Amino acid sequence: MTDDTTTDGEPRTDGGTGIVPQDDQAPTWTERKARTQGLARLTYEYFERSRREDEDLRHESDYVERDVLAFPTWPHEMIRNLAITSFFIGAMFFISAAIPPHIPSPANPDATPAVILPDWYLYWSFGLLHLDPINPELALLGGEKLMSDRVYGVLANLVVVGFIAIVPFLNKGSARRPVEEPFWAALGVGGIVFAFTISVLPVQNLVAETFPMTVPELFTLTFILPVVAFFLTYSVLKTMREGYMFELNRRYYRLRPPK
Amino acid sequence: MSIERKDEFDRDEWLAERDLSPVEEVYLISLMWLDKRLRIVDYLELLEDMYYKTNLQMPKSHTEQYNLDNKFWYWYPLYALGSFSTIAYVVAAITGALLGFYYAPSTASTEGMRTVAYSNVLFIMGDLNFGFFLRSLHRWSAQVMTAAVFLHMLRVYFTGAYKEPRELNWILGIVLISLTMVFGYTGYLLPWSQLSFWAGQIGVEMALSIPLVGEWVAQLIFGGFTLGEATLQRMYILHVFILPFVVTALIAVHIGIVWMQGIAEPH
Amino acid sequence: MADEFAKGLGILTTAGLVWMAVSSWLTTAGFESTQLVAPPPEDLGTYGELAILVREVSMWFAIFGALAFWVAIPAGREIQRARAERREEA
């Protein structure tokens, strides 16, 4: 049948590829999809259903204006951003012209420099490698450490990044402003302070030279300061919250009075 | 009565009945001549479409609708940080390509402790026209991009913009921020200076301390347990070949998702 | 409130940027030694002296500008408000 170029009596000019133009007899896209099996059919059914749900919700909705879920990226946000970022890019060119980078002496594997540091944005990670004083010792293993200090440092990095990654799954809801959620805002401020204190940790020698402070004191401070920052932020936001939420709710209900 | 069939597309008659000025007539005739050959009307429609798309009257944003804070304007720079880091990335890509013309990742020694890589950087900074500025711009745009990315993350955190339905983009952002730091780290090693070398040393030690696969990772990324030619070349290929493709693609997806979902606003 | 904060921040960052640019040129001894606050070199010439002057001016402008908008002006407004309230009570 496929070899025969004149199956239905009409001569074919396309060499009989089997590709026929769509006519009334051909199944529509919907029919074709509906006939599929398994996962493809499941996908199709879900999309049909969700589209119908959307339609229903739209019919039920009594908002005349668009129900605002987000700010449009294009064109509002993009054009505004381009205006602002052009200014910052100008500042960047100014800095590059005014403050040229430094080139240190060439690599010398035999001479260890006094200060070994990565670029500034890796300080926090570098600091997490210096956590060996709190690497837990197991009494069962006779005071031996469960893992080497280095493994512990790498693990600390993973834990920090992993925790940040799961934040959206821990903190849900529609609250946006820090005052609405003092706990999470305080956690964020504590995290920022911790990023700074842990960055100072690897240069403990320099700190001990400049400030009257021993290394264990610095280590303690590294963990105390973030906690202090946490409680400070928490209490400040809690105090602000009442008045702030009142204003926010008043504005909200003035626009959308409760039924 | 002429033999030629008259139709509504008879342009000459249309021209005659319009009573146009010479300028208008010449313009219209040349436009018709060009349109017959190039179908300008199609592109005009395209332009018109674009015009109306950019001049759409968007629905009021949340802040406008609820008159939340008429000084919200001052927070706009914080909302521009993502764009800023993207543009800094573009600047870094352009200057990086230009720097790449004059750089070779080789640890072959030229004089004293200097290697080819280090000498190339010295050449760029000392002899190449605008080379000092080029390297400065590349370095600063990298610094600025990293800083902007960190601040962008903080903005997203403190305005709760990571919440449902934006979890995926948050995770994608964390992947991007990590890759940005890898970008910076590999670039930091390229001049093969004292700082580069010892930062590389830390990297090898970190890789080696990963349980089970540490040695394999060190071999793969640093090309061995001690730093040398292989390390520099791997860093170079990561920096100029692998990471640009991966990071550019991920940035495109990241921005695409933002475009689909819109910018989350505080309310 | 918010505009006072933004004005102070704008002054602080802009003047700070100028200060940092001049300082990195003239009062930085080296990457591994004192940065930004080293004593300026001896023979600067007229333009160098001018740059040092700009550095000083931008530093004090940054400090006093930020202080003015973040502390002085809000405090002044609070005082005015308190006085007005007292006047109403009296």
Q: Is residue B223 assigned to a domain?
A: yes
Q: Is residue B107 assigned to a domain?
A: yes
CB of A182 within 8 Å of a chain B CB? The answer is no
| C17–A104 CB contact, under 8 Å | no
> Strand, coil or helix: what is A138?
strand
| Among A180-189, A204-213, B78-87, B123-132, the least confident range | A204-213
- Position B138 scores a pLDDT of 96
Range of the domain at B19: 11-54
Q: Which of C20, C25, C31 sits opposite A104 (nearest CB)?
A: C31
CA A166 to chain CA mean position, Å: 9
| C1–B69 CB contact, under 8 Å | no
| A94–C20 CB contact, under 8 Å | no
The residue ranking higher by pLDDT, C30 or C65, is C65
Q: Is residue B154 assigned to a domain?
A: yes
- Output b/e per residue, B68-106; b: 16+ Cβ within 10 A: beeebebbebbbbbbbbbbbbbebbbebbebbeeebebb
| Among B71-80, B143-152, C24-33, the least confident range | B71-80
CB of A94 within 8 Å of a chain C CB? The answer is yes
Identify the band that residue C38 occupies on the pLDDT scale cut at 50, 70 and 90: confident
Res A2 pLDDT > 50: no
CB of A95 within 8 Å of a chain C CB? The answer is yes
Res A250 pLDDT > 90: no
Q: Is residue B205 assigned to a domain?
A: yes
Residue B201 with chain A: CB contacts under 8 Å: 116
> Which residue from B minimizes the CA distance to A93?
B137
Q: What is the pLDDT of residues A35-84, one digit of tens each?
A: 666 677 777 777 777 777 777 877 776 655 444 566 777 777 788 888 88
Res B232 pLDDT > 70: yes
- Position A151 scores a pLDDT of 81
Residue B74 with chain C: CB contacts under 8 Å: 2-3, 5-6
Domain coordinates in residue numbering, chain C:
2-89
Q: Is residue B108 assigned to a domain?
A: yes
Q: What is the pLDDT of residues B25-48, one digit of tens each?
A: 888 888 888 887 888 777 877 877
Whether residue B84 sits in one domain with residue B21:
no
Q: Is residue B201 assigned to a domain?
A: yes
- Position A252 scores a pLDDT of 66
Residue A104 with chain C: CB contacts under 8 Å: 31-32
Domain count, chain B: 2
Do residues B125 and B191 make contact, with C-beta atoms less than 8 angstroms apart?
no
Whether residue B251 sits in one domain with residue B119:
yes
> Could you tell me the CATH number of the domain that includes residue B252?
1.20.810.10
Return the partners of chain C (3 or more C-beta pairs < 8 Å).
A, B
| C21–A99 CB contact, under 8 Å | yes
Mean pLDDT score, A132-156: 69
Do residues B100 and B138 make contact, with C-beta atoms less than 8 angstroms apart?
no
Mean pLDDT score, A149-166: 88
Residue of B140, B130, A98 lying closest to C51 (CA atoms): A98
Whether residue B246 sits in one domain with residue B123:
yes
Sequence-separated (6 or more) residues with CB below 8 Å from residue A93: B137
> Strand, coil or helix: what is A136?
coil
Identify the band that residue C3 occupies on the pLDDT scale cut at 50, 70 and 90: confident
Res B136 pLDDT > 80: yes
- Output b/e per residue, B207-231; b: 16+ Cβ within 10 A: bebbeeebeebbeebbbeeebebeb
Residue A153 with chain B: CB contacts under 8 Å: 206, 209
Percent of chain C with pLDDT over 90: 59
Residue B112 with chain A: CB contacts under 8 Å: 106
Whether residue B90 sits in one domain with residue B203:
yes
Whether residue B98 sits in one domain with residue B207:
yes
Mean pLDDT score, C33-48: 85
**Token pair for A29:** 């896209």
- Position A193 scores a pLDDT of 96
Q: Is residue B106 assigned to a domain?
A: yes
Whether residue B210 sits in one domain with residue B104:
yes
| C5–B74 CB contact, under 8 Å | yes
Identify the band that residue A3 occupies on the pLDDT scale cut at 50, 70 and 90: very low
Q: Is residue B70 assigned to a domain?
A: no
> Strand, coil or helix: what is B253?
helix
Whether residue B25 sits in one domain with residue B157:
no
Residue A102 with chain C: CB contacts under 8 Å: 31
> Strand, coil or helix: what is A106?
strand
Whether residue B93 sits in one domain with residue B175:
yes
Residue B139 with chain C: CB contacts under 8 Å: none
Query: From the candidates A61, A66, A77, which should be mutated to test the interface with B, based on the most B CB atoms within 10 A?
Result: A77
| C17–A91 CB contact, under 8 Å | yes
- Position B89 scores a pLDDT of 96
Res B135 pLDDT > 70: yes
Sequence-separated (6 or more) residues with CB below 8 Å from residue A136: A145, A146
**Across all residues in chain C, what is the average pLDDT?**
89
> Strand, coil or helix: what is B164?
coil
| C3–B71 CB contact, under 8 Å | yes
Return the partners of chain A (3 or more C-beta pairs < 8 Å).
B, C
- Position B74 scores a pLDDT of 72
Q: Which of C21, C25, C31 sits opposite A102 (nearest CB)?
A: C31
- Position C61 scores a pLDDT of 96
Residue A95 with chain C: CB contacts under 8 Å: 17, 21
Residue of B149, B158, B134 lying closest to B181 (CA atoms): B149
| A residues 100..119 contacting C (CB < 8 A) | 102, 104
Q: What is the pLDDT of residues B66-112, one digit of tens each?
A: 555 556 667 788 889 999 999 999 999 999 999 999 999 999 988 88
| C residues 50..79 contacting A (CB < 8 A) | none
The whole-angstrom separation of Cα B11 and Cα B22 is: 16
